[in-house]
Amino acid sequence: MKRVATAAVAGLIALVSFVGTAPAYAADGYGGATVVIKLIPNEKTVHEGKSFDFDFKAETSTGHNVHCITHTFKFNGHSNQSGTFTAPQVSSNTDRPISITCSYEEDDLVTLGGGGGRLSTSFATAIQSQSDSGVVHILNRGGNKHHGDHDGHHGKKNKDDDDDNGHLPNTGGERLAWLVIGLLLVAAGSTVVVSSRKRDTVA
């Protein structure tokens, strides 16, 4: 009977030790470590229609690299693992969001965080994920290529609506008419001045 009691107590101590130890990983951030994901842009500012690349870094708060089982970049409604995208056409300079999500095994974080080794392989490994986001500044090239200009659709050079056959536009108005009016005003003024002086001399 004493042997049975001793075995029961030993089993209870082992059970309490296991239950007390395993949740400790969750309580202290899996050994004191957290995962930090950081987007790394090769270019933050790109012209519309041009390709650009983003990279990322995954590590724990204790400085260890984290292996991502899967990672996904998302930009402008598209997703991939390469981090290479093409900037969309924009009507004006604008910012578009980009993000990265890394999925990793919880066991790895326990090990990297100093939690005393991997959890038992008899238990299912929990998958966690962490993300980071940023923006891409897209520059409009101008020319309104998306609004029916000749250059983008017909291979012709942009021209104004009024074809002047290469001549400069008449921005000065009717120059000859204004010149004649000015001369007439000068002549009228000169006549008035001369007449006024003659009257003064006679008087």
For 58-105, the pLDDT digits (tens) are: 998 888 899 999 999 999 999 999 999 999 999 999 999 999 999 998
Q: In terms of pTM, does the model score above 0.75?
A: no
Domains contained in the chain, CATH given? 19-139 (2.60.40)
Taking only the tens place, the pLDDT of each residue in 3-37 is: 545 555 555 455 444 444 443 333 334 455 788 99
99: which residues sit within 8 A by CB, 6+ positions away?
39, 73, 74, 75, 131, 132, 133, 134
